[in-house]
Amino acid sequence: MSVKSAYAVDDLWYVGEGAKQDMYVKYRIQEYDTNNGAPFDMTIYFKEKNADGNWVAPTFVEYKGEVFNGTLILGDNLAALGGGSQVPDDMRVFVGGYGRSLQWLEAFTSVSKPLSLKAGSWGKIAAIGGEELKPQGSQQVTVPAGTYDTTVVGWHKGVDNKMWILNEFPFPVKAETFVEVASGQPPTQFKYELLATGTGQPPAPQSVEEIPQPPLQQSTRRGTYDVTLSWNPVDIQPNGNTTFTVSFADNNGQGLQRVSYDFTVTDKSGNVIYDKKNAFTGSSSSGTQTVKMGDGGPVSISVILNSVSGVSTGAFTEEADFNVVVVPEFPVSAAIIAAIAVAFIVAMTRFKGNMGSMFGGRNNAL
């Protein structure tokens, strides 16, 4: 595996440095406000610059088997510009996550005022609680795209928050940052790593339906609680009963008792098919809900904590959202396989019958 050096002509760096025509980057990104922090893959291809000097960047996002395609118009700071960008509505949430993760450092260092990777400080902003962002020395880091000699830039507030920057490369190759919390394990603010980079426009993959398997775990929006969802049967059948078990813990993993919660199930058309208010776990840290599911397809499940041990969760909504899939009653692929199997059985039956007649005639002749 080759090692790429961070040392170039100078030690100045800004978001967008090193972006070149016909170059692509692919990242795996987690961002707190994007789909409850679930990871997604984003591939950006720097196709060309338009008459205004902005990048025309065909982009696709892969998320849970689905693929979203669009074209971003990116400024010199690689911010997605509203004018000219063509993205479907379902992709916009991921573009927002991109701006709050990969492109976040532009608030500090920009093409008009790049900062040194050897500077004592990059300054303070309210976005990180007034803490000081600064280079912290060189470090070799390995990500799926390769091994790189980078400069670590970060801050500390409760925990270490770090970004690994390769000079002359448009984005950090890796980042791990966390939400500020008063106590317990903080949830991820944003996290990403470089999966691949190269030249030439990469083809967008085909969407493939992924069926989530239990258990699924999500933190609530503020990171205060962890919610785990499991269900039986594992393959959720259409128009049949499914028993969901929802378990609650604090952000240190300690089980919670006497939890009051709302449990809502919504089908792919946005219709609420089950809505249980103020369900109660009692002395247990988990509760069950039995739901008669509808037709095949994706289903959304919302769990909202109202109180824990009699204490209200307050003005903030402590919610965890999950996506599950009801399997089709008899998918086309299964029908084709079944038809082939039936045809094979019929053919074999006829073949055996013919063979029996042949040997039967021979035995009679003897």
Q: Are 229 and 302 in contact (CB under 8 A)?
A: no
334-357 pLDDT tens trace: 444 444 444 444 444 454 444 444
pTM (global) more than 0.85: no
Superfamily of chain region 216-326: Macroglobulin (MG2) domain (2.60.40.1930)
Calculate the average pLDDT of the chain. Answer: 87
253-285 pLDDT tens trace: 999 999 999 999 999 889 999 999 999 999 999
Beta bridge partners of 274: 265
* Percent of the chain whose predicted confidence (pLDDT) is above 70: 87
- Nearest to 14, CA basis, from 81, 151, 106: 106
Give the phi and the psi of residue 246 in degrees, each rounded to 5.
Answer: -115, 125
Pairing of strands 241-250, 225-232: antiparallel
Domain boundaries, the chain: 3-199, 216-326, 340-366
